Structure 1
Amino acid sequence: MQDGIIAGNGNSRYLKTVAAALSLYPTYEDFITALIAGTFPIDLNGINEAGWSQKGTPLNKFTLVSDTTETKIWGSAGNHTVDQVFGKILGSIGYYLIKEYTSPGSFTHTFDRKYTDVFVVVVGAGGGGGSSGERGGGGGGGGAAAFFHVLDSDSIQNNSIVVGSGGAGAVSSLGTGNVNHGSAGGSSSVFGITVPGGGGGRANSGGRGGGYSSDEIAPGWLMIGGDGGMDNNNGDAGPMLSVVGFKYFGGGGGGGGAPSLNDPPTPGGNGGDGGAGNGGAGATMQTSATNGTDGTRGGGGGGAGSGNTFRSSEYKPSGKGGKGGDGYVAIYARGIF
């Protein structure tokens, strides 16, 4: 908006009175008396452009609060004041989701405006579930997670984003000693921060959560994903991020069910909180094994239900391991908008 600046030559505005002013106030005394009493009719009849060094922006409904702004805030246009607009904004200050990336691949994020507080969540992809011809397959490990703040979006120089691809689940296994492992999940990264994916489930042991290492301590900012379950045990819960509403990410996949001679089949374990898949049911002599279910948002894939080897002439194949959940990146912000 632009301030108005009067030139100071005494002719910035026009005055106009009623057409009957001469008959209503025939003498100078009548005119002065009405003027003093505040009853003499006068209109400010517009701006004389020659009397202004700079014209100001007119203040009206459209230059104060536009219909577009009102609709964004209240859902429809009205006659809200500027105070009401600021009251609404101040009453709802907090993080809101700008963008989330859920499909694997590489991306470049561009902020649409400046933000004074950016909150970022990044989760590695989950590992795929394993399979075994004679035991329940292990669930895949959940991807590691991290979150961090950036206090000025303009300071972010590396705006690259990579969402890791979930590890493939193991193919079916048949017979004693026949095993297949799930693949590890891919790493995810955002603005230069990288978190690893979860390990693939093995024949009868769960994959490790992303970020786990027996040789070194993980950095404090890295939250390790949940381990996958073995046999028909449940997977571990993934890390919980309370800042975005107490959400779990990167849970470990449930282990596959063990074989049994007769029905009912042994069910697989449940996936840990955080998008993990459940383990499949083990095969019986009457029923085929089922597949582990796929993970989501960095959760490990469920382990395959076991094959059946009670009679060598009637081996039944295991199910397939569930696919690990793809990684996840979410960008929240608050501040200037």
Structure 2
Amino acid sequence: MPDHSSTATWWATQLTRWMTPQAPSPAPLTSEGTLELVRQRNALLDALFYDVKVISPEEARTLAPTLAAEGALLHVPPSGQGPVVLCASRDVLCAHLDSASLRDGVPVVVAGVGSSALGSAALARNVADALGRPTVAVVSGYGLSDLLTEALGGFFLFGALNALRHQFEGLDRWRETGLIAEPDGDGPSRSLAQTSRDTQAVLGLLQDDRVPIGMLIGHSKGNLVLSEALFALRQRAPERLSELGRRQRIVTLSARIAMPRECTQVTDVMGQLDGFGALNSRARIPADHIVSGAWHHTNTDLPCHLPVRDTLRTLMAQGWQGNQQRTAT
């Protein structure tokens, strides 16, 4: 499948979104319209930060109604090997995994920077094209909780203010159900995994024996989602984390985030000019691979991009050299 016009893909997304009726929220004082401007903004950010031209207008139209569906699962084959498929559950996802994915493992990709399903699919397709096999994308969209922390600077300091984001997660559950969720009493990690839909989705994949994960790849805020899910897995199934940590490769793009010490195969990739990513990185974690002349975005139509496909192919050709362990306690 050839690359498409980024403009055509974006317009297909927006037109479909505008024509799709939005269900009202059960919460009495809010509706889905509250977040619509944020969702439109996210789609615009996707067109800037991600290589959306690798997604066809037809695929974009199928993703448009789920622009802000945080935690949604997408099955994304390489270009020309099938369309992006929105999977309503892990059961549906498993039905799309072919024998090669079951044998070699499926890469799980999480985008960031306020991304919607469009940006998530674009990043996942870049990864699929580089690795030559289908990927799974977990959509990391924005809700009310992210909107509030973003207003306080969370968009630019998501690492430092991530804990604050989870203090507001109950607002999203209220928006969706009209009920205020009570804490479960099992500590912050359990509450985080239950209320943050993107983290919960990744955690569900990590715990599902039917989904053999071969690699975890995140960009920007997506690296933080992966880290949170892995730390939550340590709380729930420490032996499973130890097993996965020994054999699973983790690649972080554009933000160096601490991972559990059990994860021994971590490669941190940074753009040479990426001050935005550096601001959201742990200073004590050095980069393993520096991309010359690259900033934070992965849109190959714009200058100073971080070319995801070429970068991953380079790392594979080098045998993933420099993949020193990057751990936290």
Q: Which has the higher strand share?
A: 1
TM-score, with length taken from structure 1: 0.24
Q: Which has the higher helix share?
A: 2
TM-score, with length taken from structure 2: 0.24
1 or 2 for the larger relative contact order (CA 8 Å, sep ≥6)?
A: 1
- Which is greater in Rg? 1
